[in-house]
Amino acid sequence: MKVLVAVKRVVDYNVKVRVKSDNTGVDIANVKMSMNPFDEIAVEEAVRLKEKGIATEIIAVSCGVTQCQETLRTAMAIGADRAILVESAEELQPLAVAKLLKALVDKEQPGLIILGKQAIDDDCNQTGQMLAALADLPQVTCASKIEVADGKASITREIDGGLETLAVTLPAVMTADLRLNEPRYVTLPNIMKAKKKPLEVIKAADLGVDVSPRIKTLKVTEPPKRSAGIKVPDVAALVAKLKNEAKVI
Amino acid sequence: MTSLVIAEHDNTTLKVATLNTVTAALACGGEVHVLVAGANAAAAAAAAAQITGVSKVLHADSEAFAHGLAENVAAQVLALAGSYSHLLFPATASGKNIAPRVAAKLDVGQISDVTQVDSPDTFERPIYAGNAIAIVQSLDAVKVITVRTTGFDAAPASGGSATVESVTAVAASDKATFVGSEIAKNDRPELTAAKIIVSGGRALGSHDKFMEIMTPLADKLGAAMGASRAAVDAGYAPNDWQVGQTGKIVAPQLYIACGISGAIQHLAGMKDSKVIVAINKDPEAPIFSVADYGLEADLFTAVPELVTAL
């Protein structure tokens, strides 16, 4: 079966972003960009499924600006076989991405679609679920384990109180949680090989999808700052502060 | 203009997150209805009718809702969505699972983790792990939102007198089935609702040490126990204790971080706590920049001392 993996180019998770002084957004000019960490986990899982002989081909997909090609090359260095960039200079919100991915799912007919559970820039946690709804497929979000057999997948997901296991018929949409796996490091030979793998570029407009934003960002502000705290010399002083000053115990 | 809150419950009792979501719904203006979709969930529906501010409870009962499968619950919400301007879910594992499915079927955008309602179509939500707050306006007719529970007070669970109306349960999908669950046994307060949280990091060194050092402190304070991602990944603490961008978002009265450096992703989950205490032997640890009271000490001596001193 084919596996489709969606990857997003985001500000690297180690970067401390700053809000622009005109409050129109965060300043992402000249900051390091990387593959969304959850998407790395998604790609890794697809590659492991291929190594187990379950997946036959892995297609990495990204929607966004031209530079997303770098993210797709990373996915191919991890082990994806080919890549598709749906190019759009516009801001793409989760619903638009889900619609673009749906168009590709119709075309490629994958048996499993894996996404990260959320992107660390917009923190939405929506695209996988939206894609499942649009394509009328079952979904398992926040997956920490998957076993595939006989056209079905048994997937364990992280929920608030612990874990739950669901059985879904394939094709299905799964979103990867942190503990699904530990992504491998890409090696230099694989980076070189990835440069030769096919990368197809499609214009978003050619897929006949309405990608207009449904949610307008009016303003982006700094979160309220915490006032500077104090250091206490010892445990006794800490207890005294908590009891008498903060009155929380 | 009427809002529908999708209740989170275990078929008998309502989860507290439902009460926070009702408060957010009331802030949107208009009447607030609550949907209780469950299996033999009459008790949960009756509890929902007692919430102050709720004017009607819709109760859909079917075996298909027993485990809250997204496919089935989303279909039920869609069957009722026609008469509502706002559909609100708590931003819990369950709400996050279902809400986007509903939004996509309605062909509307979804707004995640709302921390404040500015007007019926304008909301505030954190982005970039809480390092920025976006004020966003929905351009769609129906607003589908998930509510960050720590952003809103819980509505009083009694004092209301809503009518309970049974609604026809929609047919279930057979594409996904529930196999089983492993719920961590825990007689402590629920992490997201606890007044005090004691949280441990990688510095604890092992699962045994984590329990040995942190449990007495939690017992003494009647606190919930939390952990950093590093501690969870290393197997010192269970997954559902994780506090942070990818785990639980908490805002207790008192948060005690022991041996936690304070990475951006962890701070995203706890920096709205009223009072933050950090115990760490590294004076440069970023956690000290958000802590109200910092104690620069080895937690293996400081925490037991703290237990004795309390």
pLDDT tens across B26-84, in order? 999 999 999 999 999 999 999 999 999 999 999 999 999 999 999 999 999 999 999 99
For B138, which of A177, A214, A220 is closest by C-beta distance? Answer: A214
- Max Cα–Cα distance, chain B, nearest Å: 60
For B245, which of A120, A154, A239 is closest by C-beta distance? Answer: A120
Give the pLDDT mean for B252-278: 95
In sequence order, the 6+-apart residues with CB closer than 8 A to the CB of A235 are B295, B297, B302, B305, B306, B309
Residue A249 lies in a domain: no
- Indicate the number of domains in chain A: 1
Residue A242 lies in a domain: no
pLDDT tens digits for range B269-304: 999 999 999 999 999 999 999 999 999 999 999 999
Asked whether the beta carbons of residue A139 and residue B71 sit closer than 8 angstroms, the reply is yes
Q: What is the pLDDT along chain A (249 residues), one digit of tens a residue?
A: 999 999 999 999 999 899 999 999 999 989 999 999 999 999 999 999 999 999 999 999 999 999 999 999 999 999 999 999 999 988 999 999 999 999 999 999 999 999 999 999 999 999 999 999 999 999 999 999 999 998 999 999 999 888 999 999 999 999 999 999 999 999 999 999 999 999 999 999 999 999 999 999 999 999 988 887 999 999 999 999 999 988 887
Residue A247 lies in a domain: no
Give the pLDDT mean for B123-134: 96
Residue A232 lies in a domain: no
Q: d(Cα B297, Cα A232) in Å, to the nearest integer? A: 10
What is the pLDDT, as a whole number, of residue A226?
84
Candidates B113, B116, B128, partner chain A, best to mutate (most A CBs within 10 A): B128
What is the pLDDT, as a whole number, of residue A144?
96
Residue A234 lies in a domain: no
State both tokens at B61.
């009962």
For A241, which of B132, B238, B293 is closest by C-beta distance? Answer: B293
For A161, which of B127, B183, B274 is closest by C-beta distance? Answer: B183
Q: How far is B111 from chain A (nearest CA, A)?
A: 8
State both tokens at A64.
């966004």
Asked whether the beta carbons of residue A127 and residue B305 sit closer than 8 angstroms, the reply is no
What is the pLDDT, as a whole number, of residue A225?
86
Q: Could you give the 3-state DSSP secondary structure of residue A211? A: coil
CATH number at residue A175: 3.40.50.620
The per-residue pLDDT of chain B, averaged, comes to 95
Where does the pLDDT of residue B159 fall: very low under 50, low under 70, confident under 90, or very high at 90 and above? very high
Contacts of A128 in chain B (CB under 8 A): 100
pLDDT tens digits for range B182-207: 987 777 888 998 999 999 999 999 99
* Nearest alpha-carbon partner for B270 in B226, B217, B204: B226
> Is B147's pLDDT higher than 80?
yes
What is the pLDDT, as a whole number, of residue A211?
93
Candidates B13, B97, B124, B290, partner chain A, best to mutate (most A CBs within 10 A): B97
Beta strands in chain B (DSSP E): 2-6, 31-38, 56-61, 86-90, 110-114, 116-119, 122-127, 132-138, 143-147, 163-167, 176-183, 196-200, 224-227, 254-258, 275-280, 293-296
β-bridge pairing A9-11 and A152-159: unpaired
Q: d(Cα B170, Cα B61) in Å, to the nearest integer? A: 9
What's CA B126's distance to the chain center, in Å? 15
Residue A248 lies in a domain: no
Residue A106 lies in a domain: yes
Q: How far is A238 from chain B (nearest CA, A)?
A: 7
Give the pLDDT mean for B106-124: 97
Contacts of A130 in chain B (CB under 8 A): 100-101, 103-104, 110
How many CB pairs (< 8 A) connect A and B? 252
Contacts of B102 in chain A (CB under 8 A): 133
Which spans in B50-198 are helix H?
70-80, 93-106
For B104, which of A130, A178, A249 is closest by C-beta distance? Answer: A130
Residue A238 lies in a domain: no
In sequence order, the 6+-apart residues with CB closer than 8 A to the CB of A21 are none
Residue-number span of the structural domain to which A173 is assigned:
2-221
Asked whether the beta carbons of residue B101 and residue A248 sit closer than 8 angstroms, the reply is no
Give yes or no for a contact between B264 and B205, defined as CB atoms under 8 angstroms apart.
no
